[in-house]
Structure 1
Amino acid sequence: MNRLSADLAVFSAAAKTAHEAATHEENIPDNKYDTLSLEASYIAQGQANRAQDLRRALQAYQSLELQEFDDDSPIRLTALVRLEAEDGEEKILFIGPQEGGLKLTVHGEEVMVITPASPLGSELIGKSTGDQVTIGRKEFEVVEVS
């Protein structure tokens, strides 16, 4: 949640700065080809939209209740899933409600957040330890669900 809070602060400040640039008197167009103000307003809107997305994600994670898992539990929301390929490559995934693609370092290991709506997330939901999943062209085995 610290990462989401920090990202929210950055995007909120960026949206405010872009809005100020869009409305600043020096950016009033001199002619129909002067689009600096218009471009700044698009940036401001994009930054504000991203800040709103981050607010929703932060609220979702603050109200999230972690589930208990054992070796026989099917993968579902809040599962921490360790995958391993035959060549030894490992991936650690957290099934979260939002912000898929976010990478975090937890106890020195990289954990990627995925959502149940993502292709990989939908493939993992319902699987359990010992099941196989395909990522790209590589097969991975679910070796741990916690």
Structure 2
Amino acid sequence: MDKFLLQQQVLNQLAEDLLQAEQAVRVAHETATHEENIAENKYDTLGLEAAYLATGQARRAAAIRQAMTHWRQFRPRPYDASKGIQLGALVCLVDSDDKQHEIFLGPDGGSMKLGSGVQVISGEAPLARAMLGKCEGDEVAIQVGAPVPQQFEVLRVD
């Protein structure tokens, strides 16, 4: 699978997310400033709540813009077996049920599932941290919320 194509898919998804976040900011701002939502007493908080929502959505939009910058600057390198799995690797893991998982390790802000079935995760994700430095055939274990760690085997790395 072409890593450049995966990177473009991530950027396209982030662009869609940004459009939605910006639209949510506009709607929340309009609600917060609409004349019908002016507080008439201390219990009338619709305008205040909408203002908080607009602020949160604006922060989300800023985070998406920052993620897009990181992804535009990102240059995945070819896999080097002497270094093991690094940021930019496309990894195929197999779990204990023999189910395969395609994972693309990228910069912060792009965690998502692409239409091609590839799961994109940040290098800071627990699974990514567990995979760093591993090679084909190595075992990877993570414990997230379950009493028993999840076990994977690195099947292939590109």
TM-score > 0.5 by shorter chain: yes
Q: Alignment RMSD, CA only? A: 1.5
Report 1:21-32 matches (<5 A).
21-32=31-42
Q: 1:105 to 1:71 in 2, by over 3 A?
A: farther
Deviations 1:54-99 (A, max 9, x none): 0001111111112111555511111111001243111111111123
Q: CA deviation at 1:135?
A: 4.2
Aligned identity (percent) is: 43
Deviations 1:17-71 (A, max 9, x none): 1011101111100100000001101110111111001000111111111211155
TM-score normalized with structure 1 length: 0.90
Question: Which blocks of at least 5 consecutive residues in structure 2 are unaligned?
Answer: 1-10, 144-148
Q: 1:87 to 1:72 in 2, by over 3 A?
A: farther
In the alignment, is the contact (CA less than 8 A) between 1:93 and 1:114 conserved in 2? Answer: yes
Residue in 1 that maps onto 2:94: 84
Residue in 1 that maps onto 2:155: 143
Which of 108, 116, 120 is the matching residue for 1:113? 120
**Corresponding residue pairs, total:** 143
In the alignment, is the contact (CA less than 8 A) between 2:93 and 2:152 conserved in 1? Answer: yes
Q: CA deviation at 1:7?
A: 0.6
Report 1:19-98 matches (<5 A).
19-69=29-79, 73-98=83-108
CA distance, structure 2, for counterparts of residue 14 and residue 94 of structure 1: 29
In the alignment, is the contact (CA less than 8 A) between 1:73 and 1:145 conserved in 2? Answer: no
Which of 6, 12, 16 is the matching residue for 2:26? 16
Question: Which blocks of at least 5 consecutive residues in structure 1 are unaligned?
Answer: none
SS of the counterpart of 1:98? coil
SS of the counterpart of 1:84? strand
SS of the counterpart of 2:118? strand
CA distance, structure 1, for counterparts of residue 79 and residue 52 of structure 2: 45
In the alignment, is the contact (CA less than 8 A) between 1:15 and 1:44 conserved in 2? Answer: yes
CA distance, structure 1, for counterparts of residue 126 and residue 76 of structure 2: 22
SS of the counterpart of 1:105? coil
In the alignment, is the contact (CA less than 8 A) between 1:83 and 1:90 conserved in 2? Answer: yes
CA distance, structure 2, for counterparts of residue 141 and residue 71 of structure 1: 16
* Poorly superposed stretches of 4+, deviation over 2 Å: 70-73, 135-138
In the alignment, is the contact (CA less than 8 A) between 2:126 and 2:142 conserved in 1? Answer: no
